[in-house]
Structure 1
Amino acid sequence: MDDVDRKLISALRHDARASLSDLALLLGVSRTTVRGRIERLRQRGDIVGFTVVLQDDVKSDPVRGLMLIGIEGRGTDRIVRSLTGFTAVRAIHATNGRWDLIVELGTETLAELDEVLAQIRRLDGVATSETNLLLSTRKSG
Structure 2
Amino acid sequence: MSGPGNEQGFRLTDKDKQLLALLQKNAREPTSSLARKIGVSRTALQERIQRLESAGVIEGYSVRINHSKLIYTVNCFTMAVCNNKTYSDVIAQMRTMEAVQAVYAISGDWDFVIHVATETLEKLNTELTRINMIKGVVRTTSCIVMETKFDRRLAFMGRMGANLLENAGDLPDAGQEGVQAAD
Asked whether the equivalents of residues 93 and 103 of structure 1 are also in contact (C-alpha less than 8 Å), the reply is yes
Confirm or deny that 1:58 pairs with 2:65.
Answer: yes
Confirm or deny that 1:13 pairs with 2:51.
Answer: no
Task: Point out the more displaced range, 24-33 or 113-122.
Answer: 24-33
Q: Deviations over 1:73-101 (max 9, x none)?
A: 46733333332333321222333321122
Correspondence list, 1:14-29, <5 A: 14-29=25-40
Confirm or deny that 1:88 pairs with 2:91.
Answer: no
**The structure with more strand, counted as a fraction of residues:** 1
C-alpha change, 1:33 and 1:58, in structure 2 (3 Å) is same
RMSD: 3.0
Equivalences, count: 137
Equivalent in the alignment of 2:14: 3
Pick aligned residue for 2:124 from 106, 113, 117: 113
C-alpha change, 1:7 and 1:127, in structure 2 (3 Å) is same
Distance 2:97 2:44 in 1: 47
Distance 2:104 2:34 in 1: 36
Distance 1:12 1:94 in 2: 27
Equivalent in the alignment of 2:141: 130
Confirm or deny that 1:140 pairs with 2:153.
Answer: yes
After TM superposition, the score normalised by the length of structure 2 is 0.58
Q: Which runs of 5+ in 2 are unaligned?
A: 1-11, 155-183
Amino acid paired to 2:65: V
| SS class of match (2:108) | coil
Asked whether the equivalents of residues 65 and 133 of structure 1 are also in contact (C-alpha less than 8 Å), the reply is yes
| SS class of match (1:119) | helix
Between the aligned residues of both structures, percent identity stands at 26
Confirm or deny that 1:101 pairs with 2:112.
Answer: yes
Distance 2:94 2:59 in 1: 29
